[in-house]
């Protein structure tokens, strides 16, 4: 899986390069000090993944990410926590705060590698067979899976696909979040950002910017915050 690094700080570029060296599946094809240089490279080359800083001279990382090819994945690397929610609104794979922890980096890289496989032509795309009153039926990996609604923890949007995360497995399907949400029972499933739908039965707590479930922390988007928190409090009144 080829990747590039875009960061205006030489020390930061070298630090990410050192971390990438610990991931055999990643091959660095270029290092760039701003978005304009990276944009010129992308015009002639295919890139699977970009490690992208946000605050840079010229085009910032957020705006640049909105212009890249659809199949190119992004992991933001920045010293500024305030951009986290906005990054997830544009389908970023992950958001790493500097100084970047090695374990956290490896987790993000692994997620990107997995997503890249999902998006590749080698992966057999799954599809919904049906959505019933209590379960969904999905065709994937030459099998047909029945997943009970109550077992779904959350659904993550990824480009034009969605990843169904249940208690027992993870299945990607060629359907976007909006379409899935329209067919799932509204009393169970709530959208919390552009990239995530959660099963509110598994939500343990909510903070102003995060939803917590089963030891997992998901970003709570500005657009959905007020409605979701109100609904959460209403459902958990004693």
Q: Are 228 and 192 in contact (CB under 8 A)?
A: yes
183/181 Cα distance (integer angstroms)? 5
Domain ranges of the chain: 2-119, 127-235
| Alpha-carbon distances, residue 175 vs 123, 142, 168, 180, 223 (angstroms) | 15, 18, 21, 7, 22
The CATH fold assigned to 127-235 is: OB fold (Dihydrolipoamide Acetyltransferase, E2P) (2.40.50)
Q: What is the pLDDT along the chain (238 residues), one digit of tens a residue?
A: 999 999 999 999 999 999 999 999 999 999 999 999 999 999 999 999 999 999 999 999 999 999 998 889 999 999 988 877 777 777 788 999 999 999 999 999 998 998 887 777 655 555 555 677 788 887 766 777 888 999 999 999 877 788 899 988 888 877 788 888 888 888 899 999 988 999 999 999 999 889 999 889 998 988 899 999 998 888 777 5
State pTM to two decimals: 0.74
**Do the domains at 2-119 and 127-235 have one common CATH topology?**
no
CATH code of 2-119, in short, is 3.40.50.2300
């Amino acid at each position: 899986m080829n990747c590039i690094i875009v960061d205006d700080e030489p020390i930061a570029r070298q630090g990410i390069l050192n971390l990438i060296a610990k991931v055999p599946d990643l091959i660095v094809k270029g290092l760039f000090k701003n978005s304009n240089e990276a944009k010129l490279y992308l015009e002639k080359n295919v890139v699977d993944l970009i490690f992208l800083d946000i605050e840079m001279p010229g085009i910032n990382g957020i705006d640049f990410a909105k212009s890249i090819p659809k199949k190119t994945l992004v992991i933001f690397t920045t010293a500024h926590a305030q951009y986290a929610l906005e990054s997830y609104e544009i389908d970023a794979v992950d958001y790493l705060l500097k100084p970047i922890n090695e374990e956290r980096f490896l987790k993000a890289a692994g997620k990107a590698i997995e997503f890249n496989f999902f998006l590749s032509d080698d992966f057999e795309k799954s599809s919904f067979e049906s959505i019933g009153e209590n379960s969904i039926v999905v065709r994937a990996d030459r099998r047909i899976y029945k997943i009970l609604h109550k077992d779904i923890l959350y659904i993550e949007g990824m480009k034009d696909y969605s990843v169904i995360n249940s208690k027992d497995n993870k299945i990607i399907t060629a359907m976007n979040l909006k379409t899935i949400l329209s067919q799932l029972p509204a009393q169970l499933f709530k959208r919390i950002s552009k990239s995530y739908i959660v099963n509110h039965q598994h939500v343990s707590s909510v903070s102003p910017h995060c939803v917590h479930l089963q030891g997992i922390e998901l970003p709570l988007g500005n657009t959905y915050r007020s409605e979701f928190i109100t609904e959460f409090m209403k459902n958990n009144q004693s």
